[in-house]
Structure 1
């Protein structure tokens, strides 16, 4: 198939060049409901200045047009650092630096600051997806950048990239699966006695501290709620001595543009808010995202960021709760290990060989780690 004659290729510096209607139609054509791939979410990242050239995330989205129809597209960025990615390549960058070779800029396909698996090769059909991969290969050669990285693709797309010459890297996240529970107690009844007892004790500590919690759905979130949540979000980063990636404008934008996908949990004591967590969701999947507190209460993090969202999943019949990056402690709360993928291409042959050998060793370690985790299953 001749790529240049079958489709009209384009590199987009802004999603507005594609337009919301075309982007949404492409997602619908391939049945993609992930809210992080929505025009509203991605455009808010860029328009708010959270992910843009000035912050080291220069959009270079790939697009293939069939006449006036967007047949395929790929979120793609020129990155000048490795912050906000959750698949860590700092050691690779350091090795390049020690040998006097520039690692940055690099090409990165990902949802900024979001370790959530989903489509990265958006296409209306297999033919368009194959053409998109060919377009990506052309761009990584033409750009003369050190490398290309595709983070958290769905496994079939990871395998497609492997066929195209990418190296695969695996990781682990922890997801909760709804087994048709009717109540939170139905869920905890399936856990080992010690795990069930610990959850009850954690929830009791929050109640005994005089904390109440309320869940606020998108349309009901006020600007005061968003300002307080962002204060909590900034506090979390300050405690880790780092700068927050997302600004208040971003949260206001997604609150206005995609309220059906958003829920805040706000913890209050003595009539004033002291903590908050944010989740995004569809009718099938809930994604744990951000948490923060301006006042410490033992176990409040677990209540606001895990137990309240779990209750919401059970009430709404949501099948899966993706707990985000890392966090082996989630297993004690009913989350189980799930393998994730990323795909990597390095231009320098010697470094590519070294990374390939490293990934083989790391992959074997990840497989063993998942086996060990499964042996510690928290359920009866």
Structure 2
């Protein structure tokens, strides 16, 4: 029998081995559903049970569950990895450095939402306890030692978790994404009025030309989503993924599973030519944020990517009272379309002292460069000057 205040740590080899209500309560600070859809039990379960994030694909679940007196109080989604693909925070140079020196970088431990470059907490608790979150970091370090892993990484973490990790002597890394902010706009035209005249005209021209051939745009969400919609989108996804990455990370089964489990948190924005869909963008709906994820097309139409991924996303956010649109990783081309630079954060525990020193020195220079870059980018936003 567990003592009332006894702290226990368990490592779970699958999301399925953790009850859904326990996972979601920890991912939502005691509520029934997380603000961020990517933290839902159903999302992780779909990734694993579809075969996208498994030991066979180099993503072996090692989720840390922390309990006190038998009651779950903390969770750190974690994977043992044999490569660095699908993370969007690039550490290949670190791996090369230690391999050239005769060491081994893999396996490593990775706390992230696989294939999803969206900021979300990784130290999940019912009550935002600093002690619990610090204990989770320590448990990950201990697990790395036990498994012979070179390092532990948590990517796309919020600023508060960066602070906690810094206090625990983890290394800090910054990068840049581009997000759109809703300043209480009632319409897309209200947003356009905040832009410089030249930029405003350019956006209107792009929107007009994207649909000049008579294309229609559908927002499909909730119970309206069908397997036919997913068949169409998967063809778009495979075309884009095959050209950009060589092998797309997600399979067809994954999309069916998330549609069945969390359709109310999904919107497909699809371009239709008559009865036929020719392009589409997949978005997930959070409590106050629209998250753009994947896009693809079967016909090259000028500006259609911008229309579906950026402008329609803004339209949807305004219509549904959402505060932000996060349009995914990288992309300075988003800047001229009203998306502003924001800092993204990751935290890193590296076991090998020599590699840790080298990476720490590198990250000081990299953060300085990122800070300077964001200052420059902020000076080139399309918004009217006060």
For normalisation by structure 2, the TM-score amounts to 0.95
The structural deviation recorded for 1:314 is 0.7
Please say if 1:266 is aligned against 2:255. Answer: no
| CA distance in 1 between partners of 2:28 and 2:39 (Å) | 11
The structural deviation recorded for 1:69 is 2.3
Aligned 8 A contact 2:309 2:327 in 1? no
| CA distance in 1 between partners of 2:360 and 2:211 (Å) | 51
The structural deviation recorded for 1:164 is 1.1
| CA distance in 2 between partners of 1:297 and 1:153 (Å) | 36
Residue in structure 1 matched with residue 10 of structure 2 by the alignment: 10
Question: Please, which runs of 5 or more residues in structure 2 have no aligned partner?
Answer: none
C-alpha offsets along residues 276-314 of structure 1, whole Å, 9 cap, x if unaligned? 111001231100101000111111101111111110111
C-alpha offsets along residues 200-248 of structure 1, whole Å, 9 cap, x if unaligned? 1111112212211111112101100001101100000122251010011
Aligned 8 A contact 2:222 2:264 in 1? yes
Residue in structure 1 matched with residue 174 of structure 2 by the alignment: 170
Please say if 1:76 is aligned against 2:85. Answer: no
Residue in structure 2 matched with residue 122 of structure 1 by the alignment: 124
Tell me which moved more, 139-148 or 223-232. Answer: 139-148
| 1:52 aligned residue (32, 51, 54) | 54
Please say if 1:240 is aligned against 2:244. Answer: yes
Aligned 8 A contact 1:287 1:321 in 2? yes
The structural deviation recorded for 1:101 is 1.3
| CA distance in 1 between partners of 2:360 and 2:286 (Å) | 37
Tell me which moved more, 170-179 or 270-279. Answer: 270-279
Determine helix, strand or coil for the equivalent of 2:310: helix
Residue in structure 1 matched with residue 23 of structure 2 by the alignment: 23
Tell me which moved more, 137-146 or 336-345. Answer: 137-146
Please say if 1:93 is aligned against 2:85. Answer: no
| CA distance in 2 between partners of 1:218 and 1:232 (Å) | 20
Aligned 8 A contact 2:266 2:285 in 1? yes
Aligned 8 A contact 1:22 1:69 in 2? no
Aligned 8 A contact 1:209 1:297 in 2? no
The count of corresponding residues between Structure 1 and Structure 2 is 378
Following superposition of structure 1 onto structure 2, how do residues 215-364 of structure 1 map, counting pairs within 5 Å?
215-240=219-244, 242-364=246-368
Tell me which moved more, 46-55 or 126-135. Answer: 126-135
Residue in structure 2 matched with residue 33 of structure 1 by the alignment: 35
Aligned 8 A contact 2:233 2:296 in 1? yes
For normalisation by structure 1, the TM-score amounts to 0.96
| CA distance in 2 between partners of 1:120 and 1:129 (Å) | 9
Question: Please, which runs of 5 or more residues in structure 1 have no aligned partner?
Answer: none
Runs of 4+ in 1 over 4 A off after TM superposition: none
Aligned 8 A contact 2:29 2:124 in 1? no
